[in-house]
Amino acid sequence: MKTLRETLKEAGEKKVAVGHFNISNTEGLWGVFKAAQSLNVPVIIGVSEGERDFVGVRQVSVLVKSIREEYDYPIYLNADHTYSFDRVKEAIDAGFDSVIFDGARLSFEENVSITKQCVEYARGCGRDVLVEAELGFIGTSSKVLDEIPDGVLLDESSLTDPVKAKEFVDATGVDMLAPAIGNFHGMLRGGVDPKLNIERTKAIADAVGIPLVLHGGSGNSEDDFKQAIANGVSIVHINTEIRVAYKQGLQIGLTENPDEVAPYKFLKPAVKAVQDVVEKKLRFFNRL
């Protein structure tokens, strides 16, 4: 079985991206896995602090591992946006393949200091755990938005600076970097987010020499994805679009079978809705 590090290296060489999809429950997990399996591509399951508390930190780790082993499948688990060293440590101890320390709202120095602490812990844990860090603020909520979130500015000077990015990566030793390149968490109502800055993406990728991660991919166009992936992005995160699909699937399951009380029956359309969205995204990311 390839490690996540090997999978990412291969994605970089093939100029494709590994899809990262968030889940809150086993319906989401099966929806994502079935989509990836149908295309035979690797996939990363993401759980934010809230999502992993809902499923159970150790429980989600065992669930993903069980699929990896039973199907001999490259499915990985990432601790999405984690805001403290303690919670990074908890995820590493629970067996996650990668963690994100999100210090985007801290000062540059504080962000470096805690990210470095996370990298040191990962290196000493006895497994190959990847650490991702955030540089540049892109908002925090995975929902449908009426406007671009407060504090997210899309002008050139607010995007991640390639020189600062290089300094940050050298100082911390992180494996992956999530920059601000015109992206933001959540998606605008109407479904089309502003374009990404591809020139800046390439400049950052060239400067840091490690895989870039595109967050807030919900709402970005196919063309944006293609260009970003061709210029250094090796992982794309999708959350909001899956949440919307899950909820719509759930509503269908409940309204079409008003007398049904078996959750495994009325939840089936929710699994299918997640699967369909994920499959569509994985096709772009993997150029299929």
Least CB distance to Zn ion at residue 263 (A)? 29
Least CB distance to Zn ion at residue 56 (A)? 21
Say whether residue 215 binds Zn ion (CB under 5 A): yes
Say whether residue 243 binds Zn ion (CB under 5 A): no
Listed ranges 161-169, 191-199, 211-219, 260-268: which one lies at the site for Zn ion (CB under 5 A): 211-219
Pick the closer one to Zn ion by CB: 48 or 269: 48
217 with 185: CB under 8 angstroms? Answer: no
d(CA 42, CA 96): 16
Pick the closer one to Zn ion by CB: 87 or 215: 215
Listed ranges 21-29, 44-52, 209-217, 266-274: which one lies at the site for Zn ion (CB under 5 A): 209-217
Which of 278, 280, 253, 242 shows the shortest CA–CA distance to 144? Answer: 242
217, 241, 16, 50: CA torsion to nearest 10? 80
Least CB distance to Zn ion at residue 140 (A)? 8
Binding to Zn ion, residues 111-170 (CB under 5 A): none
Pick the closer one to Zn ion by CB: 7 or 240: 240
Say whether residue 52 binds Zn ion (CB under 5 A): no
The first and second tokens of residue 93, run together, are 């101890």
Residue nearest to Zn ion (CB): 215
The answer to whether 80 is a known catalytic residue is yes
Listed ranges 125-133, 151-159, 207-215, 247-255: which one lies at the site for Zn ion (CB under 5 A): 207-215
Pick the closer one to Zn ion by CB: 202 or 237: 237
Least CB distance to Zn ion at residue 143 (A)? 13
Pick the closer one to Zn ion by CB: 203 or 236: 236
Q: How many residues bind Zn ion (CB under 5 A)?
A: 1
Least CB distance to Zn ion at residue 103 (A)? 13
Which candidate in 53, 80, 86, 259 is catalytic?
A: 80
Listed ranges 16-24, 147-155, 197-205, 215-223: which one lies at the site for Zn ion (CB under 5 A): 215-223
Binding footprint of Zn ion on the chain (CB under 5 A): 215
Residues marked as catalytic: 80
